[in-house]
Amino acid sequence: MEEFQGAPFFSGAVDAKLDSKNRLVLPYFMRYGLVEEGRLECTLGLSLGGCLAIYRRSDILKIAKKFQENLFIAKYQKFFTLFFSTLHHTTCDKIGRISIPSRLKQSVHIEKEIVIAGVLNKIEIWPKEAYDRQLNNLLEGKDPELDLAKMTEEAFALLREEKQITPHA
């Protein structure tokens, strides 16, 4: 678990397996980043691209507050229904296991082998086959929508500070 300006962020990826009760052991360095005010509470739900996401309790509360401001805008209704109806508030047991509800497991086609990936403010849970396929396609340039050089350039462009305008003499 890394920190930036006092706020933890998630990084790294670990291969894991679900047990017979659809539980995974969340790596300690990721569990630590979910602890807030001395309690480990988190929310598990669907995410982009065919994976699940685990959010800190404070992050999901911020998301809910912002979305609630737009609750009555018709074009968001279906998204709000699907997003919030698939959220499951949870915690880890004494040995760091989190249960994945059957509906979520089926929705992203998780069998037994998974990849647990830290991605800034969330932890993603991927079917291992899908994660490996996307990573390989990205690295080998097999998917025109996943151009690593272009994606890297665009992402790092977000880091540029605005150019300061200097007056001409």
The per-residue DSSP string of the chain comes to -EEETTEEEB--EEEEE--TTSEEEPPHHHHGGGEETTEE-EEEEE-TTS-EEEEEHHHHHHHHHHHHTTTT-GGGHHHHHHHHHT-EEE---TTSEEE--HHHHHHTT--SEEEEEEEBTEEEEEEHHHHHHHHHHHHHT--TT--HHHHHHHHHHTTPPPPPP----
**What's the N-to-C CA distance of the chain in angstroms?**
49
Average pLDDT of the segment spanning 36-48: 93
Tens-place pLDDT, residues 73-121 = 889 889 999 999 999 999 999 999 999 999 999 999 999 999 999 999 9
| pTM, 2 dp | 0.83
Domains present along the chain, CATH in parentheses: 2-157 (3.40.1550.20)
Beta bridge partners of 116: 14, 125
Q: Hey, what are 100's tokens?
A: 């994945």
35 Cβ contact list (under 8 Å, min separation 6): none
Asked whether 138 and 49 are in contact (CB, 8 A), the reply is no
Judged against a pLDDT cut of 60, whether residue 55 lies above it is answered with yes
d(CA 43, CA 60): 7
d(CA 14, CA 117): 6
| 162 band by pLDDT with thresholds 50, 70 and 90 | low
